[in-house]
């Protein structure tokens, strides 16, 4: 391995991301190349320096739970609203249908006029005569 190959792989080597074969080859190069060994020491130092930046984080479980509950409530309310609108529209459809049908349903039944009974069971002689 040459410096051009090893240098860009130093981070991956330190992170344990190289294959065992590549790592072993890189290590062999580092044993004989002072410049690459110095670069690796620099990268280790950068990691040590980066560790100085620590952050304290709060416990937000309560607010996440509250947000999830509120979200669920909102989702249910939206679904209820949708169903309510659907029911309203269904009710209107039923009312319109009832209005359409009611004159016929409520009118008294009257038999059709005699001339509509033009079948053989009705008075065949009359049919022939006419």
The CB-of-42 to another protein minimum distance in angstroms stands at 5
Nearest approach in angstroms of CB 34 to another protein is 17
Nearer to another protein, 10 or 30 (CB): 10
Query: Rounded to an integer, what distance in angstroms lies between the CA atom of residue 49 and that of residue 113?
Result: 107
| Residue carrying structure tokens 């190069």 | 29
The least CB distance from residue 80 to another protein, in Å, is: 18
Residues of this chain that interact with another protein (CB under 8 A) are: 8-12, 15, 17, 42-43, 45-47, 49-50, 52-55, 57-61, 63-65, 67-68, 71
Compare residues 50 and 113 and give the one whose CB is closer to another protein.
50
Q: How many CA atoms lie within 13 A of 21 on its CB side?
A: 0
Question: Which residue number, 49 or 113, has a Cβ lying nearer to another protein?
Answer: 49
Nearer of residues 53 and 125 to another protein, judged by Cβ = 53
Q: How far is the CB of 52 from another protein (least distance, A)?
A: 4
Spatial CA neighbour of 50 closest among 8, 18, 13, 14 = 14
Secondary structure (H, E, C), 59-123:
CCHHHHHHHHHHHHHHHHHHHHHHHHHHHHHHHHHHHHHHHHHHHHHHCCCCCCCHHHCCCCCCC
């Amino acid at each position: 391995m040459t410096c051009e190959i090893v240098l860009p792989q130093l981070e991956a080597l330190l992170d344990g991301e190289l294959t065992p074969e590549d790592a072993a080859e890189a290590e062999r190069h580092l044993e004989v190349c002072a410049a690459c060994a110095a670069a690796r020491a620099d990268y280790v130092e950068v990691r040590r320096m980066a560790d100085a930046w620590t952050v304290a984080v709060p416990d937000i479980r309560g607010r996440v739970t509250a947000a999830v509950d509120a979200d669920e409530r909102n989702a249910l309310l939206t679904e209820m609203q949708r169903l309510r609108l659907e029911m309203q529209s269904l009710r209107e459809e039923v009312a319109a249908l009832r209005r359409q049908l009611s004159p016929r349903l409520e009118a008294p039944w009257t038999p059709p006029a005699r001339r509509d009974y033009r079948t053989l069971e009705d008075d065949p002689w009359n049919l022939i005569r006419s």
